[in-house]
C-alpha cells in the first residue's frame, strides 16, 4: 500500500467511526414524557424524539438520544407531554369563516337558509385562502398536524396548507348542484384532475377525490370519481350515513344503505374515508371492515345537528379503521381535536350506557394512529416511531388544571385543551414554538377574517 493510499484509507475509517458515534439530527424534541401510540403503547418518561430529513430517526430516553446524536435544533419539552400530531379526519377548513353564523337550527333549514346562500354569495378563491389560513392557525394552535378537507377552490386550500406547513389530505368536492367553483360535474371532474396532477408528489399535500355523498353525487359521478382516484392512486373522501334523512333518501332512491350503494358502485376499498357513519348498520360495518375503508367520527357536529350518536362501541369492537374529525367549524364551532376526543369518550359512554367503552387510550388512538389508518397512511404518520414522518406536538403542563398527573393519557383526553399545546412539528419543521406560530402572520390572518365577517353579513342582508 502506498503512503497516500494508506492515509486515504485511515481517513475513511475514522469518518465511519465518528459517524457511528454521533449521527447528526436536524431536530431533537426532548425532556418530556413521550406517548408513542406505537404497537406496545410505550410511554417513555424523560424521553426524546430525534428527527432528520423530516423523518423520525430515534425515540427513546433523552439521555440515550443525547449520546447518539449531534443536534442542530432543540425543542425542550420542559417536562411536558410529547405525542404524535393529531389527525383531524374530517373538516371543511374554510368554513371557519361561517363560525357562529347560524346556530340552533335544523340541518335542512341551516343548510338552505344560511350556509348555501352564504357560500353562493361569498365563496371565492381568495375567501377560501383566507379561511384556510385562519383554520390552519387554529389547527396548529390546538395540536393538529394533518387535516382531511373537502371543500371548493381546493387549490387555495392546498396553497394555504403548504404555506402553514401543515399536512393535508385535500379533496375538491364533486356535488350534484352548481358549486361556487365549478358549475357542472364535467367542470368539477376536470378541476379535480388538474388538482390531482398539480399536487402529486408534494411532501405535505396528498390530493384526493371528494364526491360529496351517495345522496348528493349521482352513480355516474361516483364511478367517475373512482376512475380518477384509480388513475392517480388517490384517496377518496365521502360523507356516509350522517343523518336519518340521508339514510332514508338513499334507501328510497336505490333500495340500499349509502354504504351498500357505494359498495355496489365499486367505490369502496382501502384509501376511502367515509365521514360520520352515524347510521351504519351491522352489515355496513362488515362491508367497511372487509374493504378496509376508514370512518371519521365527528361527535360534536353530530350532537350539535342532533344527527345521532355513531355506533363507536361497535366500530371499535369490529376493528374498523376509525378516526376522529371536527367537521366544518360552522357545525362545531371550532377545530379543537382535544374537545373532540373528550366528546367522543363521553358520547360513546353516554349513548351505550357503558362507562368502560371508548377508554382514554382508544380515544387518543382514534385522534392519531386511527386517523392515519382510516386514511391508509399508517405507515407514514399517526405514531412516534423511527421511519415515520416527524409530526409531533408538545403539550405543556403549566396549568394547575393539569395537576397532579397519575396517567398522562387520561389527562390528554379528559383534561387537556387545545390551548395547552405549546410546540408543533410537521415533517420535521417547527411550525409553532412556545405558542408562537412561525409560518403565518397571526394578526393579519385574524384581521382579514373579521373583515370577511362584515362581507358575509352584508351578503345575507343582516
Ligand atoms: Zn362534512
pLDDT in tens, 440-455: 999 999 999 999 999 9
pTM of the model: 0.95
CA of 149 to the centre of ligand 1 (A): 9
Distance 326 CA to ligand 1 centre (A): 9
In the reported structure, the alpha carbon of residue 148 is separated from the centroid of ligand 1 by a whole-number distance in angstroms of 10
Q: How much is the pLDDT for 107? A: 82
Torsion of CA 435, 98, 216, 169, to 10 degrees: -20
- From the CA of 41, how far away is ligand 1's center (Å)? 31
User: If DSSP codes are grouped into helix, strand and coil, which group holds residue 409?
Assistant: helix
Find the mean pLDDT for residues 106-130. 92
Share of the chain above pLDDT 90, in %: 92
Report CA 187 to chain centroid distance, whole Å. 27
Cell of 52: 432528520
- Listed as own residue / partner, the contacts of 280-286 with beta carbons closer than 8 Å and 24 or more positions apart are 280/240, 280/241, 280/310, 280/311, 280/315, 281/257, 282/314, 283/257, 284/241, 284/257, 284/259, 284/260, 285/311, 285/314, 285/315, 285/318, 285/320, 286/318
Once rounded to an integer, what is the mean pLDDT over residues 240-250?
95
Ligand 1 centre to CA of 92 (Å) is 6
Q: Residue 266 in contact with residue 226, Cβ under 8 Å?
A: yes
Task: Give me ligand 1 centre to Cα 404, in Å.
Answer: 38
How far is the centre of ligand 1, averaged over its atoms, from the C-alpha of 212 (Å)?
A: 8
DSSP letters for 44-107: EEEEEEEEETTEEEEEEEHHHHHHHEEEEEEEE-TT-EEEEPEEEEEE-GGGGGGTTSS-S--H
Taking ligand 1, which is a single-atom ion, which protein residues have CB atoms under 5 Å away? 327
Positive or negative: CA dihedral 98, 120, 227, 220: positive
Quote the CA–CA distance of 90 and 169 in Å, as a whole number.
10
Distance (angstroms) between ligand 1 centre and the Cα of 276 equals: 8
66 CA to centre of ligand 1 in angstroms: 44
Report CA(159)–ligand 1 centroid distance (Å): 21
Report the separation in Å between the CA atom of 328 and the middle of ligand 1, taken as the mean of its atom positions. 6
Distance in Å, CA 238 to ligand 1 centroid: 8
Q: How far apart are the CA of 151 and the centre of ligand 1, in A?
A: 9
Dist. CA 233 → ligand 1 center (Å): 23
Interacting residues of 372 by C-beta distance below 8 A, sequence separation 6+: 87, 146, 323, 378, 380, 381, 382, 383
Q: How far is the CA of 240 from the centre of ligand 1 (A)?
A: 9
Q: How far is the CA of 335 from the centre of ligand 1 (A)?
A: 13
**How far is the centre of ligand 1, averaged over its atoms, from the C-alpha of 329 (Å)?**
10
Q: What is the mean pLDDT of residues 372-380?
A: 98
The CA 384 to ligand 1 mean position distance, Å, reads 28
* Residue 79 pLDDT > 90: yes
Distance of CA 185 from the midpoint of ligand 1 (Å): 19
Average pLDDT over residues 265-283: 98
Nearest to 271 by CA among 298, 253, 293: 293
Work out the pLDDT band at 112, boundaries 50, 70, 90: confident
Q: What is the largest CA-CA distance in the chain?
A: 89
Give residue 336's pLDDT.
Answer: 98
Question: Quick one: pLDDT at residue 108?
Answer: 78
pLDDT, tens digit (0-9, with 9 covering 90-100), for 350-365: 999 999 999 999 999 9
Amino acid at each position: 500500500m502506498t503512503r497516500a493510499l494508506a492515509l486515504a484509507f485511515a481517513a475513511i475509517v475514522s469518518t465511519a467511526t465518528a459517524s457511528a458515534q454521533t449521527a447528526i439530527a436536524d431536530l431533537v424534541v426532548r425532556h418530556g414524557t413521550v406517548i408513542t401510540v406505537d404497537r406496545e403503547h410505550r410511554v417513555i418518561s424523560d424521553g426524546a424524539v430525534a428527527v432528520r430529513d423530516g423523518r423520525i430517526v430515534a425515540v427513546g430516553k433523552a439521555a440515550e438520544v443525547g449520546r447518539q446524536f449531534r443536534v442542530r435544533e432543540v425543542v425542550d419539552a420542559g417536562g411536558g407531554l410529547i405525542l404524535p400530531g393529531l389527525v383531524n379526519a374530517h373538516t371543511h377548513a374554510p368554513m371557519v369563516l361561517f363560525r357562529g353564523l347560524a346556530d340552533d337550527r335544523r340541518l335542512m333549514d341551516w343548510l338552505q337558509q344560511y350556509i348555501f346562500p352564504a357560500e353562493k354569495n361569498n365563496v371565492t378563491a381568495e375567501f377560501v385562502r383566507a379561511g384556510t389560513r385562519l383554520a390552519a392557525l387554529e389547527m396548529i394552535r390546538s395540536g393538529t398536524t394533518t387535516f382531511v378537507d373537502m371543500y371548493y377552490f381546493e387549490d387555495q386550500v392546498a396553497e394555504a396548507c403548504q404555506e402553514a406547513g401543515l399536512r393535508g389530505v385535500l379533496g375538491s368536492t364533486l356535488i350534484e348542484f352548481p358549486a361556487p367553483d365549478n358549475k357542472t360535474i364535467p367542470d368539477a371532474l376536470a378541476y379535480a384532475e388538474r388538482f390531482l396532477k398539480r399536487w402529486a408528489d408534494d411532501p405535505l399535500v396528498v390530493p384526493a377525490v371528494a364526491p360529496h355523498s351517495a345522496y348528493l353525487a349521482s352513480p355516474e359521478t361516483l364511478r367517475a370519481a373512482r376512475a380518477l382516484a384509480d388513475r392517480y392512486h388517490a384517496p377518496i373522501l365521502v360523507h356516509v350515513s350522517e343523518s336519518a334523512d340521508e339514510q332514508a333518501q338513499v334507501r328510497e332512491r336505490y333500495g340500499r344503505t349509502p354504504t351498500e350503494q357505494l359498495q355496489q358502485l365499486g367505490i369502496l376499498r382501502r384509501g376511502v374515508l367515509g365521514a360520520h357513519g352515524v347510521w351504519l348498520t351491522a352489515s355496513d360495518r362488515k362491508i367497511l371492515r372487509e374493504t378496509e375503508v376508514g370512518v371519521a367520527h365527528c361527535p360534536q357536529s353530530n350532537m350539535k345537528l342532533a344527527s345521532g350518536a355513531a355506533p363507536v362501541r361497535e366500530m371499535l369492537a369490529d376493528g374498523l379503521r376509525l378516526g376522529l374529525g371536527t367537521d366544518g367549524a360552522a357545525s362545531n364551532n371550532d377545530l379543537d381535536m382535544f374537545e373532540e376526543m373528550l366528546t367522543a369518550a363521553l358520547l360513546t359512554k353516554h349513548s351505550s350506557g357503558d362507562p368502560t367503552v371508548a377508554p382514554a387510550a382508544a380515544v387518543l388512538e382514534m385522534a392519531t394512529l386511527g386517523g392515519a389508518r382510516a386514511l391508509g397512511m399508517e405507515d407514514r404518520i399517526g405514531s412516534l416511531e423511527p421511519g415515520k414522518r416527524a409530526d409531533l406536538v408538545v403539550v405543556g403542563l403549566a396549568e394547575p388544571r393539569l395537576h397532579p398527573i397519575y396517567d398522562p393519557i387520561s389527562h390528554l383526553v379528559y383534561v387537556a385543551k387545545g390551548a395547552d399545546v405549546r410546540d408543533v412539528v410537521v415533517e420535521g419543521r417547527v411550525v409553532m414554538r412556545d405558542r408562537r406560530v412561525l409560518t403565518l402572520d397571526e394578526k393579519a390572518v385574524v384581521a382579514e377574517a373579521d373583515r370577511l365577517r362584515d362581507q358575509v353579513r352584508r351578503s345575507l342582508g343582516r
